[in-house]
Amino acid sequence: MLTVMGIKARDMAVDLTGAIASIEKVMASAPRRISEIKVVVDIPVKPSDKDQKILEHTARTCPVLMSIHPEIKKDITFHWG
């Protein structure tokens, strides 16, 4: 997510230096498997609302996220500025 956001941000002249993502997996017990992935993206800058929306959309449509099985819940939170 951060990679594709960084590429898009560069094209938009938005500096995402210092951005980090924290990931937590939630396991189901029967059958034992990953049931949810929680991602928190902390970005130290606060670009315009329009730029935030574009970058969040870019992250939510990244190839890796789109490759995760549809039954796995994806909880994504962005913290700007």
Mean pLDDT of the chain: 97
CA distance 77 to 20: 12
Domain that includes residue 55, residue range = 2-80
Give the chain's domain count: 1
pLDDT digits (tens, 9 = 90+) for 70-79: 999 999 999 9
CATH code, 63: 3.30.300.20
Tens of pLDDT, residues 40-64: 999 999 999 999 999 999 999 999 9
The residue written with tokens 């590429």 in the block is 7
Alpha-carbon span 77 to 62, nearest angstrom? 15
Q: Whole-prediction pTM value?
A: 0.91
